[in-house]
Amino acid sequence: MSIKRFSLEYNHVNGRTFSVGDVLSGRVIVVASKETKVQVLVVKAKGSAEVKWYGQDGPNTVSYQDEKKYFYLEHIILQDKNKGDGSEIIRQGRTVYPFSFVIPNKDMPSSYEGRWGRITYNLQAELTQTIWSIHKTSIDFPFLTKSEFPFTPKSEMSIIGLKERQSATIISFYGSGKVILNVTSEKMGLMQGETMEVSVEVINGSNGTVTPKFFLCEKQIFLAQLKTLVHTNEILFGSGESVLARTSRTIINVLSIPRQLSPTFCNCSLIKLEYTLKVTLGDPLARGPDIKLPLVILLGSSISSNPQTVHGT
């Protein structure tokens, strides 16, 4: 056990994230209690997407999984001349080995962690003394896509639609009458942290009071082995003002997109992320569909641009 510490560090660029074409540099730190012979010291950088879940096929439990590799880079720092005789020496004490990679210039999705899958970009260092003594350490680094349209196929009409108003109408029936709900959203595409004005016209023909409620609906889609699994989550945006029986009212609500939400994306073959704005009357006795309007969350502005160093273990 002559290796007392084996760790990775990398330097940030672009504030907090990396993108295609960036230089990913850092160092491997080795602390040895005595002079130590080694076979190889290597650093690897890779990007990949992976999904995995379990389902039932009759009485049997089936595993569905798939992986998509975006890149794999390898940098050999030390390697013995005779491939196994341990001719490379790490001196006693603390030794620092620098490394550097250039992230490939190709279309890749941003880092993402979902319910049954994730998109990760990772550094791993491996130090082999013998086949029975191998030290490993790894750390993820955040990656941000430079794809101009990660949220949609490159269609001019779909891009124009991000700025257009959206409207929908439903009729819900109560025992004493019906309620007409007209919803208009300011636009379809919003950045993280941005606010949006939503207009709700309520024509309450029933004998009860109704209250519009607003939800942000998240939809995670996972694909593996020709199977699709969907995970949904609803976030309550808030409630509008109540509308009394036999009255009409137009309610204006300003909704704010949480800054921490991941942007919409579909530029990954295994994982996709979509959002909708849902408006409901908030009454379980109401019969009729909720109004759902498509919502595209776009990447917001960068929060920080200060260079940093991140440590692995």
Residue 183 and residue 203 in contact, taking contact as beta carbons nearer than 8 Å: no
Return contacts of 82-89, CB within 8 angstroms, 24+ apart. Answer: 83/39, 84/39, 86/37, 86/38, 86/39, 86/129, 86/130, 87/37, 88/37, 88/38, 88/39, 88/40, 88/41, 89/35, 89/36, 89/37, 89/38
99 shares a domain with 195: no
Q: What percent of the chain is modeled with pLDDT above 70?
A: 88
Helix (H, G, I), strand (E, B) or coil at 161: helix
164 shares a domain with 118: no
> Where is average pLDDT lowest: 12-21, 30-39, 189-198, 208-217?
12-21
194 shares a domain with 252: yes
pTM for this model (two decimals):
0.86
Using the 3D structure, point to which of 88, 120, 146 is the last residue of a domain.
146
At 11 the pLDDT is: 94
Using the 3D structure, point to which of 96, 125, 146 is the last residue of a domain.
146
- Residue 214 corresponds to which tokens in the numbers above? 């607003």
166 shares a domain with 103: no
At 302 the pLDDT is: 40
What CATH number is given to the structural domain containing 211?
Answer: 2.60.40.640
Is residue 311 a part of any domain in this protein?
no
At 305 the pLDDT is: 34
Quote the number of domains for the chain: 2
Name the average pLDDT for the chain.
Answer: 88
Using the 3D structure, point to which of 146, 167, 189 is the last residue of a domain.
146
Measured distance CA(79)–CA(127) in Å, rounded: 10
The 10 Å Cβ neighbour count of residue 160 is: 9
Q: Identify the domain containing residue 249 by its residue range.
A: 156-298
**Taking residues 187-212, what's their average pLDDT?**
91
182 shares a domain with 115: no
Measured distance CA(34)–CA(58) in Å, rounded: 59
At 310 the pLDDT is: 54
